[in-house]
Amino acid sequence: MTPSAETSRDFLQRLGVSGPVLPGTSTGQEFFGAGDESLDSVSPIDGGRIARVPVTTRKEYDRVVETAEAAFQLWRERPAPGRGEIIRQIGDELRRHKEDLGRLVALEMGKILEEGKGEVQEMIDICDFAVGQSRMLYGRTMPSERPEHRLYEQWHPLGPVGVISAFNFPVAVYSWNAMIAAVCGDVVIWKPSEKTPVCGVAVQRILARVLERNGLPEGIFNLVQGGRAVGEHLTSDRRIPLISATGSIRMGKEVAQVAGARLGRTILELGGNNAIILTENADLELALRAVVFGAVGTAGQRCTSTRRLIVHDAIFDQVRDRLVQAYEGIRIGNPLEAGTLMGPLIDSDAVRAMGEALEAVQAAGGELVTGGEVLEGEGYESGTYVRPAICIAENHFPIVQEETFAPILYLIRYTELEEAIALQNGVRQGLSSAIFTTNLREAEAFLSARGSDCGIANVNIGTSGAEIGGAFGGEKETGGGRESGSDAWKAYMRRQTNTTNWGAVLPLAQGIEFDV
């Protein structure tokens, strides 16, 4: 099993990625390569290097921002439907490269090919959504208390928007931000994860082709590469009015502090500790499929992965036994091969974190029911393949309160629905949640104000996987940000309240008299 700059050379070249070592110079909207530091893109499939990507120096970063600021002056003047037309063309370009880009996502991140292609489909879908949004950047007209006055509000673009994305969705989450920000009139500076830099290069070159065909200036979409230092350039930069950051809670707190110190705006999409409640009225055939996908999909490396399963005592043993049986049939291996349901973890650090979590839950008094082994032998030489684990645990265990980015599912008992909801809410994170029940009262209680405290609450559908039409994000330590659909576009714009006096006198609000 070899990934590859070698065996995948053709699709990398079709994406415009020169491998196995990327050149230090670049075209279009990329700026990097003058420094000596570089990132090695390593495939978790077998530990082989895909490419070496130069890290953006401080001098190059400043050049990016200056170019973006200049582009913003032109881009914001283009009518919003005209900006939407460019995004429509980007969507078409992504359609042409869906197979290749999806394969690169699988190669560099390790998710199965179907999920990789699904991630590119998300990019296409958000392009379609953004095209429609470009004709719906609505303001409001309000009644004025003063005669012969018009009171209304309108929305204007912010400027250069910084996007810091995570390795687990190396292309889709960027597009949620970039495509919406672009139709709003903003320009974008993207720092992809240092673990998936080649995906960033590939997307950037796809975008650059569309911009070049339309004679647009460089600087509308921009790419910088690197780790913490480059991220700090963005978050501390007063020229960047908005930072959208996806990652760990620890990282999000740092971003919020640094950006907040300069009164910059943030959209934070941070950790999830997502639970599904299975009531005694659940359709188990439906529920168990959702649980397995939520817990095992992307090897448990989604922010919406199902980490806790809160099960009514009357069905607990049945659910445990059926999950163990289902886990035995999960095919683990090369994510590029048909039939694989779970690929590797991203790297050895993730494997170590999973092992430590399993030790911690058992030390706290929990039971490891199945899984957790690191796989060895032919096809598993990278040391990043594991068996997904099921543990019986208590919600208050310290390790259960944490998000472990790995395929660990904690089974937790309950007897009354109010108890189940309290357990679901009894963590610091608040991203995604779900209940499986055929009882209308149970479903509505879960969705009520006294129910789930998460940004996403589902009935008879799992925690993992969200449509782009709804705003995506969570509460509490998940950060409170919202991306993608609904009215999330407003985060990328500034609201302006306007009053026009079309009369010949100057009445003051609240009836104030002030004669000079």
Active-site residues, by number, are 269, 303
**Of 502, 504, 429, whose CA–CA distance to 248 is shortest?**
429
Q: 3-state DSSP call for residue 102? A: helix
Residue 168, both tokens: 């687990």
Residue 414: partners with Cβ closer than 8 Å, 6 or more residues away: 277, 310, 311, 312, 313, 420, 423
**How far is it, in rounded angstroms, from Cα 213 to Cα 208?**
9
Residue 89: partners with Cβ closer than 8 Å, 6 or more residues away: 210, 213, 214
Q: 3-state DSSP call for residue 123? A: helix
Which residue is associated with the tokens 């970063």? 61
Q: 3-state DSSP call for residue 157? A: strand
B/e letters for 121-133, b = 16+ CB within 10 Å, e = fewer, are bbbbbbbebbbeb
| Residue type present at position 35 | G
Reported as half-sphere exposure (CB side, CA atoms, 13 A), residue 498 has a value of 14
Q: 3-state DSSP call for residue 433? A: strand
What phi, psi does 224 have (nearest 5°)?
-125, 150
Q: DSSP letters of 70-138?
A: HHHHHHTTS-HHHHHHHHHHHHHHHHHTHHHHHHHHHHHH---HHHHHHHHHHHHHHHHHHHHHTT---
Element (H, E) at 89: helix 80-96
Residue 235, both tokens: 């978050």
